[in-house]
Amino acid sequence: MASIVVLVTVTACHRDHWVEPVTGMEFVRIPAGRFVMGSPPSEVGHEAGELQHEVIIGRAFYLGVHEVTQGEWQRVMGANPSHFAECGPDCPVERVNFYDVQEYMHKLGALSGEAFRLPTEAEWEYACRAGTTTPFSTGENLTTEQANYDGEFPYAHFPRGIYRDRTTPVGTFAPNPWGLYDMHGNVWEWTRDWNCPYREGPARDPLGTCEAEKRIIRGGSWYFNGDSARCAVRYTHRPKDLGFSLGFRLVANPR
C-alpha cells in the first residue's frame, strides 16, 4: 500500500497550544487528517498485528506535549507512586495502572473544569508519525541520543547506544515534527483501546472495543529495546498492571 499523508491546515481561529491551569500541563493541537496506520511487511520488526490500513482522524485534538510528570500527578493526587521518585517532578510518572489514570483524569477534570481522556491508539500513532512514514519519526533509525531506550539492543543492525537504566526528565530529547516529546521511549503510554485486531480497509476514528483481557500501550520505554519504540508497535498490559516503565499522556478538550 502506498503511504498517504494528508493533513488539514490549522486555521488561525484555533489555538495551536493550550496550558491546563491547575498543573501547567502543556498541550499541542493535532490537526485532523489521514495516514497509513501499521507497518509494511518489509519493515524490520514488523508483526502480523501491524496490518497497514488507511485511517482518517476526523477531528483535531489536543495532545499532551509531554508524558504526564510526577509533579503533575502529585499536584492532583497528593502522592507519587513512581519507582523513580528520586528522579524528580519533571520525570514521567510510572507505576500507574489504567484505573489509576481514570481516577487522575476525573480529579483533574473536577479541579480544572475541563475534560480529559487517553488518546486512541490511532490518534497516538498518527501523532507519533507526525507526517512521516518511516519506522520512527526520526527516520529509519532511532539512536539513544534521540530517545531513552535500552541501547544495548538497538534497532535492526544499527550501532549500540546507551542504556540509562532509568527514566529521564520529559523533554530531554528533541521533539518530533509536531512538537511532541518522548513519543519514542522513556515510558510506555496507556491508550483507550482494548487489544483488538485491525479491520481490513479504511477506518475513520477507530477505537478498539472488542472483548479482550488487555489494553494497548504504545511507544516503548527505557527498559525495552529499540524495536519497541517504532511508531507501529502494539504492546499490551492488563488494565490492573503496574510497571516501572508504564505511564501515559493525555488528550484535552478545552472549551
Q: Give pLDDT tens digits along the chain (255 positions).
A: 443 333 333 333 358 999 999 999 999 999 999 999 999 999 999 999 999 999 999 999 999 999 999 999 999 999 999 999 999 999 999 999 999 999 999 999 999 999 999 999 999 999 999 999 999 999 999 999 999 999 999 999 999 999 999 999 999 999 999 999 999 999 999 999 999 999 989 999 999 999 999 999 999 999 999 999 999 999 999 999 999 999 999 999 988
Given a contact cutoff of 8 angstroms between Cβ atoms, the answer to whether 35 and 121 are in contact is no
Report the topology of domain 6-253.
paralog of FGE (formylglycine-generating enzyme) (3.90.1580)
Angle at the Cα of 38 from the Cα atoms of 35 and 41, rounded to 5 degrees? 125
Give CA–CA dist 38/47, Å, rounded.
9
Given a contact cutoff of 8 angstroms between Cβ atoms, the answer to whether 240 and 168 are in contact is no
